[in-house]
Structure 1
Amino acid sequence: MATMKEVAHRAGVSVTTVSHVLNGTRHVSDDARNRIEQAIRELSYVPSAVARSLKHNVTHTIGMMIPNSSNPYFAEILRVIEARCFDAGYNVILCNSDDNPHKQSVYLRVLTERRIDGLIVVTSGEDAGLPALLTDLHLPMVLVDREMDNIHCDLVEVSHIQGGYLATQHLLTLGHRHIACISGPSEISPSDQRIAGWQLAMGEAGIEPADDALWRSDFTSRGGYQAMHALLRQPQPPSAVFVCNDLMAIGAMCAAYELGIRVPDQLSIIGFDDIDLASFSSPPLTTVSQPKERIGAIAVDMLLEHIQGRRDEPRRIVLQPELRFRSSTAPFAPPGTPARRSKTTLNNR
């Protein structure tokens, strides 16, 4: 691999002059610049990004931490973030914590060693030392999707309570009264907030959910599958289930199918997130849509404002979810009566 010294020798100039051309730090005559650029092409010289970052204290690199790379919701947000960063001249280094707080802490230290300019984080559950660790990084930072106490930085998320409320209201409007909820782990803030929305809508309808109407899982399709198996084996199974993310909802539909329960004729299921796959499940999944493109774009824009010194004070942006009405929910039909299927429209795909 060619060095800057070899470029300087080929062009007949000093190493300092080559450096000025590469970094734009001083005027260099057109003749010298042309010789340097020709030498760079002939030697296939590639400037060291590490050396340049040490000189300017800028790497044009963003770190991103997500809790589960197999969840399409995070993949879809990451795609938006990567594209927006690329357009702004920044690269993205991705770390997947697997919802493991220890792994998360290790990767955060690795990212800082890479001299990133800023950080976008979706946290992995409760970690008592995480707020202090993030504060000690002294980096521009944006939290996405999951709130965290005792941290002074930007946040962008959807209103999870409103989303849970919308999902449950939809089922209530269809005439369901025995509505169960399959949620995520208790240490993750969206789990409890979506449950709160379910409870709020049920309370407004004058319904007190039974203790066995709420099940905790892990936001995976296998977790939804196992929780739905348990729900449907109860003496009085629900007529509808609000499942707190789409992956679990797809697993839940699989469990219903195995047990010979037709969705939505005998059981209505609604999810949360509106991942691309939700439109192509069987039946297509009614769900609460998160504005993923806006979330990703806002996260990048807020981070770049801090990196580029255009803003200091943190902001909290909460976006509103929307209902995507498809074919996995239908009006309540008492056992033994023909079910009335809900109509679904193509624009909800």
Structure 2
Amino acid sequence: MVKMVDVARLANVSTATVSRVLRNPESVKEHTRLKVLNSIEELNYQPNVLARHFRRNKTNTILVIVPNIANTIFSQIVRGIEATASEKNFRVLLGNTNRDVEKEYDFLNLLHQRQVDGLILLSGKIDHDILSELKDKYPLVLASEYVDDVEIATVCIDNIKSSFEATEHLIKQGHKRIGHISGPMNSLLSFDRLSGYNQALKEYHIDESKDLIREGDFSYETGYQQMCELLILPEPPTAVFAANDEMAMGAINASKKKGLSVPKDLAVVGFDNIRFSSIFDPGVTTIAQPAVEMGNIAMELLLQKLDDPDFENKRITLKSELIIRESCGSNIVETSQ
């Protein structure tokens, strides 16, 4: 079956542009619009016309777009969404993108075709102009991630404050050379976790070093790779704050591979409190997000927007918690006063 991404490739444009041509063609320059329309004709791309024109009643189905369902933080959020949805006789249709933003646009067709009543996004990667158009036309809630330049109903945590707390914990264990493995810096969430790290260093008068900051993509593999890079520095860090637990686990195993002991030689703190963080060796000290509650509230917000399209687009910020386990060395390194 021909997908929107196929049209985009042939026309040499983004899927966001194809989406605009289909929804709001006058907003696209004529030359570009014609390229897209010619590609649609050549590929015989056919959005679900029947659904678009004839499906007017409620479907009692909502779409949840997930960056990576294998990451248990997202599966926990979905569990919360499904629990609340089930209580209200709604079904949940899951769209797993595996962090491919192009797939997000394909899933959005279900919304345009009225095959679902509303959308919960667990990613903020969609073009913000399109995101703004979507929230004006459809019931839409953003959960876990967030954006600053679009007024949209959102449920999240304070990532700056949480990351400050994670870094501060390492500082209070006596560490002064603390590395950070960030998420992709095109994400506001990653930027805020980096900001919390930097703020903690500044407050405790610890010099910032760009050499100690490495960009990952939230995967175990980049945690491993970036930790290897940190360990070959002339002065490697004695502690690392990773922007999620998967990268923290990668960092721990990279250190073990180099013959280091965690936490004796290197303290590590992660983020998210995924299911495996408590059974990993050593157990990962981490920031716990109230993921199931986040899903519950996101679904409640969406139901309110389904009942009232003019319902306020508010941001709800939930509390996180620092969970201390073996990887940070709290039980073997005395706190510096």
Q: Distance in 2 between matches of 1:227 and 1:109?
A: 37
In 2: Cα distance, 1:217 partner to 1:225 partner: 9
Between 310-319 and 189-198, report the one with greater CA deviation.
310-319
More deviation, 315-324/121-130:
121-130
Q: 1:126 to 1:237 in 2, by over 3 A?
A: farther
Percentage identity across paired residues of the two chains: 35
**Partner of 1:92: helix, strand, or coil?**
strand
Give CA deviations for 1:212-249 in whole Å, capped at 9, x if unaligned: 01000000111111111111111111000000000111
The offset of 1:125, in angstroms, is 3.1
Question: How far, CA to CA, are the matches of 2:189 and 2:158 in structure 1?
Answer: 9
**Partner residue in 1 for 2:220:** 221
Report the equivalent of 1:24: none
Q: Which residue of 2 aligns with 1:181?
A: 180
2:111/2:118 contact within 8 Å kept: no
**Is this contact kept in 1: 2:62–2:118, CA < 8 A?**
yes
- Secondary structure in 2 matching 1:94: strand
TM-score w.r.t. length of structure 2:
0.79
Q: Aligned AA for 2:209?
A: A
Q: 1:35 is matched with which residue?
A: none
| Alpha-carbon distance between aligned partners in 1 of 2:167 and 2:315, rounded to the nearest angstrom | 26
Counterpart of 1:207 in structure 2 is 206
Aligned residues between the structures:
284
* Conservation of the 8 A alpha-carbon contact between 2:55 and 2:114: no
Q: Secondary structure at 1:272's aligned position in 2?
A: coil
Residues in 2 aligned to 1:315 and 1:124: alpha-carbon distance in whole angstroms: 16
Q: 1:60-95, CA deviations, whole angstroms, 9 ceiling, x for partnerless residues? A: 101111111221111111112112211210001111
Aligned twin of 1:282: 281
Aligned partner of 1:166 in structure 2 is: 165
Q: How far off is 1:258 after superposition?
A: 0.6
**Cα 1:98–1:129 shift into 2, 3 Å:** farther
Q: Which residue of 2 aligns with 1:127?
A: 127
**1:64 alignment partner, SS class:** strand
Measure, in 1, the Cα distance between the counterparts of 2:160 and 2:77.
20
Give the aligned partner of residue 299 of structure 1: 298
User: Which amino acid in the other structure matches residue 276 of structure 1?
Assistant: R
SS of the equivalent of 1:152 reads coil
Q: Which amino acid aligns with 2:139?
A: P
User: Where has structure 1 moved over 6 Å in runs of 4 or more?
Assistant: none
- Note if contact 2:124-2:146 (Cα within 8 Å) is conserved in structure 1: no
Secondary structure at the residue paired with 1:241?
A: strand
Contact kept in structure 1, 2:135 and 2:152, CA below 8 Å: no
**2:105 pairs with 1:105:** yes
* TM-score under structure 1 length normalisation: 0.76
SS at match of 1:142: strand
Q: Does 1:153 align with 2:152?
A: yes
Specify the alignment match of 2:38 in structure 1.
Answer: none
- Alignment RMSD: 2.2
Tell me the CA shift for residue 149 of structure 1: 4.1
Name the aligned partner's letter for residue 216 of structure 1.
E
- In structure 2, the partner of 1:61 is 61
Relative distance call for 1:126 and 1:107 in structure 2 (3 A) is closer
Take 2:182 and 2:309, find their aligned partners in 1: how far apart are those partners?
A: 39
Distance (Å, rounded) in 2 between the aligned partners of 1:301 and 1:263: 42
Could you report, residue by residue, the CA deviation over 1:35-59 in whole angstroms, capped at 9, with x for unpaired residues? xxxxxxxxxxxxxxx99xx687211
Give, in whole Å, the separation in 2 of the partners of 1:129 and 1:256.
43
Deviation of 1:98 after TM superposition, in Å, equals: 2.2
1:271-290 per-position Cα deviation (integer Å, ceiling 9, x unaligned): 00011111000011000111
| Unaligned 5+ runs, structure 1 | 1-49, 332-338, 343-349
Choose 164-173 or 141-150, whichever is displaced more. 141-150
